[in-house]
Chain A
């Protein structure tokens, strides 16, 4: 039935588009949103058994209806829907912030900090050096840029190499019903790393001069204002929760819009503000469950549209000459993530390794493969700050995300089963 439904939608949409029955841009946009919601969602349900994350399946569907395969997505309409990018960025940051539980971090702080520290140092250094040495051979779209610009790109690449989304990690843990010290520690590291990166990225963007303010005092002021704005928004959400209980998702949509507008006017950092809001609600209010549910409801719709459009706008021609670079970076990243884990574990255990520590050394690397979530949010920012190569850069990052989305979740799932902390869904 689902296949029949998708075929029906494709035929009807193709007919309405091909015969230009839709000569009203508003109606064209409407039918396209309806088509995307229904078909992308149904497509992800059909391929549910592949165990791929839904966001990957939405992207694949976008590629299928995009210009390189079926070519049935009108370009003007896709442009009209690009406003969804910034909403996605905020939703991801809200979710990441709300996943950070202070109590858990405190209990495992030593291991979490040491492993995160070594992973950041190793992965950043290797990818930064790789980009500086091989620059246009690694990233063909930066050919002809000045040394200063290549340095900036190398810094961003280095930090993007570190980023790992907690979303897919949480999805796999949830699916396998995993519970135990191995799973908890990995989740802690992933979230801690995510938050560290979220705090570091605004600083990096400011330092490399994307906002035009290079003064450390101004950077500090912007960070303080962003944190303050985040707390204030968290405060507003907390107090509005009682009155707006049934409309919390809608209210978060409105709040996201206000944050986007404020960031434009007062130079507030979007990511930092949203992550602080999520963090504040999780740790300092009693509405974290409602907030988490509302933001997940909102994310559900936003992700369908965002990732389908992502697939449509994916420049597959760039992938032809970037595929090797994508794999080189991903392999090096995995190796040096593992080195970081090894050193972190060894430093915390001078004597003989327990089963839990050997499991960490054997399987923990599988949790750091996935790149979706924050990487995409940062790719959106890079596209805005560096319009000259932003689209190609974004495509490159999305290519990495797609590859890791194919490999990461199945490997992490395998690792969880191997450690005995999770089970396969019957």
Chain B
């Protein structure tokens, strides 16, 4: 029954967290930070109450959280206005490439003095650092399109991240991979996306009520995410793209499905934060060095392209918020692989993000 205690604890915290989140009962500190603190406290670093390696029955919950949040992130990306896709895509490409280049060069340069990371870790940390979503891009002169552009820009930024992860994932988990094996992984990934998108679309259209929908949704998310882990292919990118395909092909059923899904978004996000935090490693001094480096490089990687864009669109205004939900999905997905090498760079990213989030939160509150 111990496993059940843990599942019940996760559920209780998720429900209470969601209620606080919705009612804004606690104003002085962001709820995300509280959940992360609780997650760390009940994880192996604290009370060791929530330990994935000792409790088999937690695995389905973790898999559900990873798969469902990746799917939800993709599902929100609906092309309503196809006219602005091209310019926003160009803008995001520019944004992402500049950010990635800055991050990579800075990490590479600093690491040559500190010698904390290997090349693979630098690539991962640079990819995370260049993921600046959601990016609020508000053009004063085109107010009609501002929210749409803002929405598209943040989602294109996500597409870049998930696309890159899709291609580098096999290399992250197996560095001895030969070319033909790599091609097989990619083909297998594409086949998975196509097959499960078709099934998901068919069954979503056939569902008569929310019970039918959730049975298929939870079933496909759990089955496919676990399948990806078994065959070493990237579950989050796959679930993300299945979400995008479904939202753009489902037609008039979109609103109905969106309504079902929105109800579970907050509990899923809180559960995700809780479990991700339980994986945090804080007992190594190097983590704090990497974290501080990440903090400054990430800010530079966000600010520099923003300044360039600001100068280009001198009548416009560009804003940026911290990395949120999707980043934790990616972190948890990579953490579950259990590679010490990868985990070394994930904890610093979470710590730096907490810091950025607190600064952002204070700045936002001071505006009010």
Residue B168 lies at the interface, judged by CB distance under 8 Å to chain A: no
In the complex, A35 has a CB within 8 A of chain B? yes
In the complex, per-residue mask of A248-259: 1 if CB is within 8 Å of any chain B CB, else 0: 001101100100
Q: How far is the CA of A22 from the CA of B184 in the complex (A)?
A: 19
Chain B neighbourhood of A22, CB < 8 A: 230
Q: Which residues of A contact B15 (CB under 8 A)?
A: 244, 247, 250-251, 254
Are A21 and B215 touching (Cβ within 8 A)?
no
- Chain B residue nearest to A8 (CB atoms) is B195
Contact partners of B216 in chain A: CB under 8 A? 38, 41
Interface size class of A (residues with CB under 8 A): 35 or more
Distance in Å: Cβ of B215 to nearest Cβ of chain A = 5
- Chain B nearest CB, measured from A254 CB (Å): 6
Cβ of B223 < 8 Å from any Cβ of A? Answer: yes
Interface SS of B by simple majority: helix
Cross-interface CB contact of A31 among B11, B195, B215, B230, cutoff 8 Å: B230
> Which of B58, B219, B263 neighbours the largest number of chain A CB atoms within 10 Å of its CB?
B219
Residues of B within 8 A of A247 (CB): 15, 18, 267
Residues of B within 8 A of A16 (CB): 227, 230
Is A37 a contact partner of B222 (Cβ separation < 8 A)?
yes
Q: Is B258 an interface residue (CB 8 A)?
A: no
Q: Are B230 and A304 in contact (CB under 8 A)?
A: no
**Restricting to A290-327, which residues have a CB under 8 Å from any CB of B?**
297, 300-301, 304
| Contact present for A30 and B199 (CB under 8 Å) | no
Chain B residue with Cβ nearest A41: B215
B52 CB contact (under 8 Å) in A26, A254, A257? A26
Partner of A300, one of B195, B215, B222, B223: B215
The interface residues of chain B lying within 8 Å CB-to-CB of A144 are none
Report the contact-size class of chain B (Cβ under 8 Å from the partner): 35 or more
Instruction: Indicate whether A83 reaches chain B with its CB closer than 8 angstroms.
Output: yes
Q: Are B11 and A30 in contact, CB atoms less than 8 angstroms apart?
A: no
Check if B59 is an interface residue, CB within 8 A of chain A.
yes
How far is A244 from B56 in the complex, measured between Cα atoms in Å?
29
A387 within 8 A of B: no
A421–B56 CA distance with the chains assembled, in angstroms: 51
B230 touches A38 (CB 8 A): no
- A interface majority secondary structure: helix
Given contact pairs A9-B223, A244-B15, A29 touches B230 in the complex (Cβ within 8 A):
no
CB of B220 within 8 Å of the partner chain: yes
Contact B60 A33 (CB under 8 A): yes
In the assembly, what is the distance between CA of A250 and CA of B222, in Å? 18
Closest B residue to A304 by beta carbon equals: B215
The proximity string for B residues 98-112 relative to A, scoring 1 for CB distances below 8 Å and 0 otherwise, is 000000000000000
Residues of B within 8 A of A26 (CB): 52, 56-60
Q: Is A1 an interface residue (CB 8 A)?
A: yes
Cβ of A293 to closest chain B Cβ, rounded Å: 10
- A83 touching B59 in the complex, CB below 8 Å, given contacts A31-B223, A38-B219, A297-B211: no
Give B25-69 interface residues, CB cut-off 8 Å to A.
52, 56-60, 63
B interface residues, Cβ below 8 angstroms from A:
1, 4, 8, 11-12, 15, 18-19, 52, 56-60, 63, 195, 199, 202-203, 210-211, 214-216, 218-227, 229-231, 263, 267
A-B contact pairs, 25 of them (CB 8 A): A5-B203, A8-B195, A16-B227, A21-B231, A24-B59, A26-B60, A30-B59, A31-B226, A31-B227, A34-B221, A34-B222, A34-B223, A34-B226, A38-B215, A38-B223, A41-B219, A83-B4, A246-B263, A247-B267, A250-B11, A250-B15, A250-B267, A257-B4, A297-B210, A301-B218
> What are the 3 tightest A-B residue pairs by CB atom distance, in nearest-first order?
A26-B59, A34-B223, A34-B222
